[in-house]
A and B are shown apart, each in its own frame.
Chain A
Amino acid sequence: MADIRYLAPQSLDEAIGAFAAAGSAARILAGGTDLLVQMRSGVVKPGVIVDIKKIAEMTAIKEGADGSFVIGAAASGMALYEHPRFGKVWPGVLEGINLIGSKQVQGRASPGGNLMNGSPAGDSVPAMIAAGAIVTVQGPNGRRELKVEDVPAGPGRTNLKPGEILVSFKLPSRPSGSSDAYLRMIPRTEMDIAVVGIGVSLTIKDGVCTAARVGLGAVAPTALLVEAAGKALVGSKLDDAALEKAAEACRAACRPIDDKRGTIAYRIKTAGVLLKRTTAIAAKRATGK
């Protein structure tokens, strides 16, 4: 029986060295809320586990002077929840992250793990896409940045290169009158996986939407940026016509499957319904009404 080697490096360079050296047998451990479940069910059998939680940058939550945020890939949902500022600036991203697993799981689950797990239904991903988050990754060949929507490659796969580790998310600074929201459809009320998840980030000035991004999850092999939906909202007063146009853009973006979690028709319909509901919440937050 092959043993598992567990490494807990203190520095990122050390982690990258160990991770790259171990090749495909290695897995990164952040909160472990997906990895350990997959190991227990026999889906993955890593030879080396590289625990990145001991690296300070990986769990740090920093607000820049310009109001932007950099959050470590392994920062836990609960740490973000307890942060005095993060949830005020990015309530939608926070609600997406806080929907991962249960309260107990939140002490461990991280946005980095949620993204790198590669599930199209990951709750934090559509909200991050809507937020326009940029991720920093580092590998044997140095650091680079990617848009968050460019990270997933398909169910269980990402566009990171061999040996690369997700380091952090950068969420941009934003003008006043901005906010965001995340909603998901689940048959239950909690402890469930999204049938459709949607993040909407908006800026509203004098009653008019001046910027909008929409992220859509669980309706295609990866979470999607629905640019047409954002465009439909920009320049409008979020009137019914604009909302319907954005909802239609979301429905059109769906490429779902029929499975145990929902039908194609249901997912498409739900994407439109949730666009309207999520936009309403984000708008209410943005205007303080």
Chain B
Amino acid sequence: MNLVTNNKWIGQRTIRPDGMDKVTGRAQFAADTTMPGMIWGKVLRSPHPHARIRSIDTSKAEKLPGVKAVVTSKDIVDFPIDKGAVMLGIQDMRWMCRNVMARDKALFPGHPVAAVAATTEAIAAEACKLIEVDYEVLPWSIEIEDAIKPDASVLHEFNKWEGKPSNIAGRLEHKKGDIAEGFKQADVVIERTFTTRPVHQGYIEPHACLISVAPDGKTTIWSSSQGQFMVRAMTSMLTGIPQSDIRAIPAEIGGGFGGKTIVYLEPVATMLAKKSGRPVKMVMTREEVMRATGPTSGSRSTVKIGAKKDGTIVAAHGTFYLQAGAFPGSPIRGAAGCSFTPYDIPNLLSEGFDVCSNRSKVAAYRAPGAPIGAYAVECVMDEVAEALKMDPLDFRLKNAAKEGTKAAHGPTFPRIGYIETVEAAKNSPHYAAPLGKGPAGTLRGRGVASGFWFNAGGESSAQVNITEDGNVVVTTGHPDIGGSRAGIANICAELLGIDYKRVSVIIGDTQTIGFSNLTGGSRVLFASAMVVTQSAEKVIQTLRERAAKIWNIDPEAVKWDQGAAHPVSPNAGQFEPLTLKELAEKAPAMGGPIGAGVQLNTAGADGGFGTHVCDVEIDTDLGIARVIRYTAVQDVGRAIHPGYVEGQLQGGVAQGIGWALNEEYIYNKDGKVDNPGFLDYRMPVCSDLPMIDCIMVEVPNPKHPQGVKGVGEVPLVPVMAAVASAIYNALGIRFYSLPMSPPKISAALDANVKQAAE
């Protein structure tokens, strides 16, 4: 559905540049790097959910043969709590320094308290056992309702709520109109409370790094992250080594989904390397990943929506409590800010509460907070539509946000594509198709839901160089987690008018390309396409000038077309075109190497909207819900590489189906995660999912040279509500908590049968 059809490369499903390496096993992930003299680091982690650390004695560990260095919080730069926030992006370094190594208190099972580097992993692990930590075990709470009780054990005494120490670390609100007045006008008001469990991003590649600190302090980091500059900055701040001395080299990344936007190992490994004088490698086990890296928040949300008989929503109120884990900073902005945004609601109050509790610190997960909020809001939307006897998509169309709508979180929308997504869903073959009947003992249902995510711009740098043989190397500063290299190659090939295969896109390290912000917020292709476009335009300008010089005509009389310089018209002169290859050959004599770089703080990233349709089939004896058909509709701005855009939509849906049906952190009575592995933390496998159909609606972003909008996060936002509504449609039972796992569905069906019998 490309709006512009005369493009040669933009909109093509070109072969992914990293594909061959990945399928042949050549791709270098973080754990694949080794160095001569390398030793291994291991982390000693707290067994307690909450404990004061009275003392740490590392002397026995230090004496174990093979041990080369031991690190505790004394080796990590302290950012004192009472001196105020020190922000790096959305992370407060006061929390980061305490998250990578516990200081006065251990705040969750798995919280690092010390680390050892030794000649083998086994010796390092043995040495960890020799470290004696004197803990004063404290009462703890993990669930929101426990953490906000007045008598709950408080994680951070300095944190006050209503004048008293509390685990409520913050509140955010978006407000529009007057909800009390609004609800008075409503004919139908529905209010429901929902809970969701913490879920992990589930990247296949565990956190890993190899770090070398030379005697002169020059530090090299090989690690897998969503931002080598974030790794450099955080490591610098937490170790005191200046950024100019740290070269952070991004490895190929085996999944991140937001979870690799912070560091865990790098500052610790850097200090181990510095103290030992040896390169130090650290690789987390899956269990460490599950216990100590950020799942997203568990939540408790209450949503109330009031509408008139004609379907007009007059008021809405949402209250979203999100678990932050050990330190403040849950994604309440996504929950409170995104959930009502698809709708034009005159009276709205959307509140988010940030709640600390004794589990690992939350990390970003694909549209952080937005899926949690949308789950609650979209489920209530479905109930209101039902109460009004309206088709749920018509109800959404009736209230849809459009150009000129003022969103509660601030902006007045420019031209947006939300309505187009609802209309496309309504007109889809899927929505028109009858549900059909499954085998005996099954029931089918269909549900729909919408979702919104902000999308981000921010800092990006690019360098476009013409090689001596007339090909192109593009360097950007963003780890590629969603196909940005292929997208950039398409754009560059288009602009330069050359074959896609002649463009090589690489990701630079921190000392070879200019600052580029994280891969996150669905920002990478939006932002890097801008800097790459401007760089390519500069290169084209140079090429025109070179041709003009050779032809001895004015540069304005030269045009760039189909990979070659041509005179703009016969009047300009009669010259054979000069190709990129020819101009590259002549470059040394004509002014030197050809290349250009651009660095920008990009703006103009429009938010993204999606609308999903989901069919489920439920085995009513066993309570197993299977998604049998799924269509994701999204306003994608402009699909530079449609295959990758569809991949993003399908990947988001797959994660949402897991969140809806089976994924959850299960804690045991000691406050420890009871399912820290992929056997019992049940992400969907391939056979659990149908082929996920995608409808890409293209409403180009007018503020972007190619019309790009971020696409990576929106597709997770609507999923859980779409699945929940489909299950309701099948069974006539509404579920107000996730996951909708077989025992839960089965118990609800049994309760229904029992109720009917009584």
A residues near B (Cβ < 8 Å) are 1, 41, 185, 187-193, 195, 260-263, 265-266, 269-270, 273
Instruction: Choose among B679, B687, B741, B750 the residue that contacts A269 (Cβ–Cβ < 8 A).
Output: B750
Instruction: Choose among B624, B687, B746 the residue that contacts A190 (Cβ–Cβ < 8 A).
Output: B687
Instruction: Choose among B120, B126, B624 the residue that contacts A187 (Cβ–Cβ < 8 A).
Output: B624
Smallest Cβ distance from A258 to chain B, in angstroms?
10
Kindly state whether residue B662 has any CB partner on chain A within 8 Å: yes
Indicate if the CB atoms of B621 and A273 lie closer than 8 Å: yes
| Residue of A185, A266, A269, A273 with most chain B CB atoms under a 10 A cut-off | A266
Nearest chain-B residue to A270 (Cβ)?
Answer: B622
Instruction: Choose among B126, B674, B684, B747 the residue that contacts A260 (Cβ–Cβ < 8 A).
Output: B674
Smallest Cβ distance from B39 to chain A, in angstroms?
14
Residues in B neighbouring A260, C-beta threshold 8 A: 666, 674-675, 680
In the complex, the 3 A-B pairs of residues with the closest C-beta atoms, listed nearest first:
A266-B743, A189-B687, A273-B621
Residues in A neighbouring B742, C-beta threshold 8 A: 185, 187, 195, 262, 266
Indicate if the CB atoms of B685 and A189 lie closer than 8 Å: yes
| Residue of A192, A260, A265 with most chain B CB atoms under a 10 A cut-off | A260
Indicate if the CB atoms of A188 and B684 lie closer than 8 Å: yes
Main secondary structure of the interface of A (DSSP, over half): loop
Q: How far is the CA of A41 from the CA of B666 in the complex (A)?
A: 19
Smallest Cβ distance from A102 to chain B, in angstroms?
9
Q: How far is the CA of A189 from the CA of B626 in the complex (A)?
A: 9
Indicate if the CB atoms of A266 and B666 lie closer than 8 Å: no
**Given A260-B680, A269-B750, A273-B621, A188 and B126 contact (CB-CB distance below 8 Å):** no
Indicate if the CB atoms of B120 and A1 lie closer than 8 Å: yes
Indicate if the CB atoms of A187 and B662 lie closer than 8 Å: yes
Indicate if the CB atoms of A193 and B679 lie closer than 8 Å: yes
**Which residues B639-664 have CB closer than 8 A to chain A?**
661-662
Q: How far is the CA of A266 from the CA of B682 in the complex (A)?
A: 18
Smallest Cβ distance from B288 to chain A, in angstroms?
12
Nearest chain-A residue to B287 (Cβ)?
Answer: A41
Residues in A neighbouring B688, C-beta threshold 8 A: 188-189
Nearest chain-A residue to B620 (Cβ)?
Answer: A273
| Pairs across A and B, CB under 8 Å, 20 listed | A41-B287, A185-B624, A185-B742, A187-B661, A187-B682, A188-B684, A188-B685, A189-B626, A189-B688, A190-B687, A192-B679, A192-B682, A260-B674, A260-B680, A262-B743, A263-B747, A265-B747, A266-B623, A266-B746, A269-B750
Kindly state whether residue B213 has any CB partner on chain A within 8 Å: no
Kindly state whether residue B456 has any CB partner on chain A within 8 Å: no
Given contacts A188-B687, A265-B747, 20 further A-B contacts (CB under 8 A): A1-B120, A1-B122, A1-B123, A41-B287, A187-B624, A187-B741, A188-B682, A188-B688, A189-B626, A190-B685, A192-B682, A260-B675, A261-B680, A262-B742, A262-B743, A263-B747, A266-B623, A266-B747, A269-B746, A273-B621
Q: How far is the CA of A193 from the CA of B688 in the complex (A)?
A: 15
Residues in A neighbouring B741, C-beta threshold 8 A: 187
Smallest Cβ distance from A130 to chain B, in angstroms?
20
Residues in A neighbouring B661, C-beta threshold 8 A: 187
Residues in A neighbouring B679, C-beta threshold 8 A: 192-193
**Given A1-B126, A269-B746, A191 and B685 contact (CB-CB distance below 8 Å):** yes
Taken residue by residue from 665 to 708, chain B's Cβ proximity to chain A (1 for < 8 Å, 0 otherwise) reads as: 01000000011000110101101100000000000000000000
| Residue of B662, B674, B746 with most chain A CB atoms under a 10 A cut-off | B746
Indicate if the CB atoms of A273 and B685 lie closer than 8 Å: no
Nearest chain-A residue to B683 (Cβ)?
Answer: A188
B residues near A (Cβ < 8 Å) are 120, 122-123, 126, 285, 287, 621-624, 626, 661-662, 666, 674-675, 679-680, 682, 684-685, 687-688, 741-743, 746-747, 750
Q: How far is the CA of A148 from the CA of B18 in the complex (A)?
A: 51
Residues in A neighbouring B687, C-beta threshold 8 A: 188-190
Residues in B neighbouring A190, C-beta threshold 8 A: 685, 687
Number of A-B residue pairs at CB separation under 8 A: 55
Nearest chain-A residue to B742 (Cβ)?
Answer: A187
Residues in B neighbouring A270, C-beta threshold 8 A: 622, 746
Q: How far is the CA of A270 from the CA of B622 in the complex (A)?
A: 6
Q: How far is the CA of A108 from the CA of B516 in the complex (A)?
A: 47
Q: How far is the CA of A105 from the CA of B593 in the complex (A)?
A: 54
Q: How far is the CA of A2 from the CA of B207 in the complex (A)?
A: 28
Residues in B neighbouring A266, C-beta threshold 8 A: 623, 742-743, 746-747
Residues in B neighbouring A273, C-beta threshold 8 A: 621-622
Residues in A neighbouring B126, C-beta threshold 8 A: 1
Smallest Cβ distance from A241 to chain B, in angstroms?
18
Q: How far is the CA of A187 from the CA of B747 in the complex (A)?
A: 15
Residues in B neighbouring A189, C-beta threshold 8 A: 626, 685, 687-688
Q: How far is the CA of A1 from the CA of B662 in the complex (A)?
A: 41
Smallest Cβ distance from A128 to chain B, in angstroms?
23
Q: How far is the CA of A190 from the CA of B684 in the complex (A)?
A: 9
Residues in A neighbouring B685, C-beta threshold 8 A: 188-191
Instruction: Choose among B622, B662, B680 the residue that contacts A185 (Cβ–Cβ < 8 A).
Output: B622
Residues in B neighbouring A191, C-beta threshold 8 A: 685
Q: How far is the CA of A17 from the CA of B173 in the complex (A)?
A: 73
Q: How far is the CA of A193 from the CA of B682 in the complex (A)?
A: 10
Q: How far is the CA of A260 from the CA of B662 in the complex (A)?
A: 11
Q: How far is the CA of A41 from the CA of B290 in the complex (A)?
A: 14
Nearest chain-A residue to B675 (Cβ)?
Answer: A260
Residues in A neighbouring B675, C-beta threshold 8 A: 260
Indicate if the CB atoms of A188 and B662 lie closer than 8 Å: yes
Q: How far is the CA of A273 from the CA of B626 in the complex (A)?
A: 18
Residues in A neighbouring B623, C-beta threshold 8 A: 266
Q: How far is the CA of A190 from the CA of B685 in the complex (A)?
A: 7
Residues in A neighbouring B746, C-beta threshold 8 A: 266, 269-270
| Residue of B675, B680, B743 with most chain A CB atoms under a 10 A cut-off | B743
Nearest chain-B residue to A272 (Cβ)?
Answer: B621
Nearest chain-B residue to A262 (Cβ)?
Answer: B743
Q: How far is the CA of A273 from the CA of B666 in the complex (A)?
A: 26
Q: How far is the CA of A161 from the CA of B380 in the complex (A)?
A: 61
Q: How far is the CA of A190 from the CA of B750 in the complex (A)?
A: 26
| Residue of B622, B666, B688 with most chain A CB atoms under a 10 A cut-off | B622
Indicate if the CB atoms of A263 and B287 lie closer than 8 Å: no
Residues in B neighbouring A1, C-beta threshold 8 A: 120, 122-123, 126
Smallest Cβ distance from B111 to chain A, in angstroms?
20
Nearest chain-B residue to A259 (Cβ)?
Answer: B674
Q: How far is the CA of A131 from the CA of B122 in the complex (A)?
A: 44
Q: How far is the CA of A261 from the CA of B687 in the complex (A)?
A: 20
Q: How far is the CA of A206 from the CA of B626 in the complex (A)?
A: 38
Residues in A neighbouring B684, C-beta threshold 8 A: 188
Smallest Cβ distance from A47 to chain B, in angstroms?
14
Residues in A neighbouring B674, C-beta threshold 8 A: 260
Smallest Cβ distance from A170 to chain B, in angstroms?
32
Smallest Cβ distance from B437 to chain A, in angstroms?
19
Q: How far is the CA of A179 from the CA of B688 in the complex (A)?
A: 29
Residues in A neighbouring B122, C-beta threshold 8 A: 1
Residues in A neighbouring B666, C-beta threshold 8 A: 260
Residues in A neighbouring B626, C-beta threshold 8 A: 189
Nearest chain-B residue to A261 (Cβ)?
Answer: B680
Q: How far is the CA of A190 from the CA of B626 in the complex (A)?
A: 13
Q: How far is the CA of A266 from the CA of B120 in the complex (A)?
A: 46
Residues in A neighbouring B743, C-beta threshold 8 A: 262-263, 265-266
Q: How far is the CA of A269 from the CA of B126 in the complex (A)?
A: 46
| Residue of B666, B682, B684 with most chain A CB atoms under a 10 A cut-off | B682
Q: How far is the CA of A266 from the CA of B626 in the complex (A)?
A: 18
Q: How far is the CA of A189 from the CA of B685 in the complex (A)?
A: 8
| Residue of A191, A193, A195 with most chain B CB atoms under a 10 A cut-off | A191
Smallest Cβ distance from A186 to chain B, in angstroms?
9
| Residue of A188, A195, A261 with most chain B CB atoms under a 10 A cut-off | A188
Q: How far is the CA of A240 from the CA of B625 in the complex (A)?
A: 26
Smallest Cβ distance from A257 to chain B, in angstroms?
13
Smallest Cβ distance from B285 to chain A, in angstroms?
8
Nearest chain-A residue to B662 (Cβ)?
Answer: A187
Smallest Cβ distance from A271 to chain B, in angstroms?
11
Q: How far is the CA of A261 from the CA of B742 in the complex (A)?
A: 10
Q: How far is the CA of A260 from the CA of B661 in the complex (A)?
A: 14
